[in-house]
Amino acid sequence: MSKDQVISDATMVRIPAEWEPHACCWMAWAVHREWRDWTGVVKDELSAVILTIAQYEPVSLLAPRAELADARARFSGGNIEIVEAPVDDIWMRDIAPTFALRGNDVVAIDWNFNDWGGTTQRPAQPGDHLAAMAESIFGVTRVSFPFVGEGGAFITDGQGTLVTTRSCLLNPNRNDFRSGQDRERLMERELARLGIHRVIWLEGDPSEPITSGHVDGYVMFTAPSTVLVESVEDERCEPPLWREHDIATLEQAEDATGRQIKVERVRAPRERHWKFRGPYWAPCYLNAYVANGAVISARFGDTERDEAARDTLARAFPERAITMLKINHIANGGGGIHCLTQPMTIAEGSIAI
């Protein structure tokens, strides 16, 4: 069977948890022209993320031909492999496929990414559809999924539980269900083919201008049946719509094995410490990357909240180093470190690097 063939039967596919071993982390060196005068500083922040992750696991860095020389000059040698590809954006969590296991093999789940619902704030770009090139770029088989989504729209514990938001996956700009259909049940039946047996539906934030309320902006699995949730406790800032409702939903939920979900709050950085206040500004501690030996998160200059977030992550991942990086300009583009990364799982029987 050609690896380019789309497999419609995804039975026995399992999406690993973030903390399971990675063969590498796929990232992109493709700062789009929408960053304009900030291109240089965004590249500097992105470089820091890439180099930090490379201390703990290999980084496979996609770069378009026009950026190859720059990428090679910045990242020659070490634990970073430069891969030429027609990529034109940095948000690999969404524009790349999600890597999973099908039996003993690594596969790439194609979520039919449609540029975040075709939002007018973020026009479609040709290099945003990397799943279709799963064989030529990533060297693995592509597994099809019948609905539209993206990697940041969900989190999973690797044991059959998935958390997502209605505001994103049930948004008509992604999945326009017919009137009268039970939208959640239809989606759950398809996700069951990917080993998902319990879906916890949060409301999310439909007013979020690009992602329509990605769950990875405020919720993070740290172990089976255990999540961190970012709460907004700030006298100057109203919490996002439905945030407290979503926290209560998680506190009352069970995972796929019937265990009660344990919830711990992480307080978001306070507005008086923010560097930016634009519509895309996303100061998120929990939009973090769990590498093989570390957790890489962001810091935002609110010393008390930064340190509290670090302490919480250290308790949640006691065997991993905690590194917090300054990514204000990237965050002002609507995403965080989790959004920049796409881990590739290790095939069964392989040894972690």
C-alpha dihedral sign at 174, 136, 17, 333: negative
Residue 4 lies in a domain: no
Residue 257 lies in a domain: yes
Given a cut of 70, the residues of the chain with pLDDT beneath it are: 1-11, 120-127, 348-353
pLDDT at position 181 is 86
pLDDT at position 16 is 97
Reading across the β-sheet that carries 289-290, which strands appear in turn? 289-290, 294-299, 321-326
Residue 254 lies in a domain: yes
Question: The tokens 């250290």 sit on which residue?
Answer: 314
Apex CA 345: angle with CA 352 and CA 310, to 5°? 80
Residues labelled catalytic: 339
Q: What is the CATH number of the domain that holds 90?
A: 3.75.10.10
pLDDT at position 1 is 43
CB atoms within 10 A of CB 350: 12
Count of structural domains within the chain: 1
Residue 314 lies in a domain: yes
Domain range enclosing 271: 13-345
Among 320, 296, 338, residue whose Cα is nearest residue 53: 296
Residue 2 lies in a domain: no
Strands 294-299 and 289-290: what pairing? antiparallel
Residue 93 lies in a domain: yes
Residue 183 lies in a domain: yes
pLDDT at position 127 is 62
Record the pTM: 0.94
Burial class (CB in 10 A: 0-12, 13-18, 19+), 230: buried
